Amino acid sequence: MARKKAVEHHVLLSETEKLLLEKGYSAFHFGLLADRLGVGRSTIYEYYANKDVLINAYIHSFAYERVEECKKVLDIEDANEQLKSFLRIFVKYSHIQQVITMLVQMEDHSNGKVDTQPVRLLTKEIYRISLVVIQNLKDTGIIRRELDDTFISYIMFNLIQMPNFRNHNETQRLDEFVDFLLRGIGT
């Protein structure tokens, strides 16, 4: 009997991410992933019972890594640099909105059979950290105190989702976002 080919877990999650971003949630299936990994589908079933469990594991891993990066940002004392470092994470991983959309699709598809609560807690932690960054900007007088924190956070995350029409590199995009957040479009 032939021995099954093992798959390293980080490779499995990495290829899952690539396929999800290429094909989307609906078109993703174990057959595509198995072909990509050069293994049989049964090998993937040894790790995960179904696609929703796998996608949940991928999203959890992705969100956990972003939370850990965000926590390090809070160690930066300069509020301006803190903002840049926070935004840099999301410029680098600008596909985060696609990932969150897939979480919603997965929740709808699985009808509560997959526990997404840990992932939801991680996304709330990212939001909480964004509010700390915003408060630090307010405390240092970089942004106006009367502005609503939730609104500012919403703007930050939506700026990052804007298409890169001018093909700027990450640094150029980051500088443009920070300039817009701190100076606006007024004269």
Q: Render pLDDT for 41-95 as a digit per residue (tens, 0 to 9).
A: 999 999 999 999 999 999 999 999 999 999 999 999 999 999 999 999 999 988 8
Per residue in 142-172, pLDDT tens?
999 999 999 999 999 888 888 888 999 999 9
Amino acid at 162: M
Number of H helices, E strands in the chain: 9, 0
Residue 97: pLDDT over 80 = no
Q: Let me know the angle formed at the C-alpha of 91 by 171 and 77, rounded to the nearest 5 degrees.
A: 75
At residue 35 the predicted structure's pLDDT band, cuts being 50, 70 and 90, is very high
Report residue 147 as tokens.
Answer: 């502005």
Q: What is the mean pLDDT of the chain?
A: 92
End-to-end Cα spacing for the chain: 74
DSSP reduced 3-state for 140: coil
pTM (predicted TM-score): 0.87
Separation CA 36–CA 23 (nearest Å): 13
Tokens standing for residue 17? 């991410």
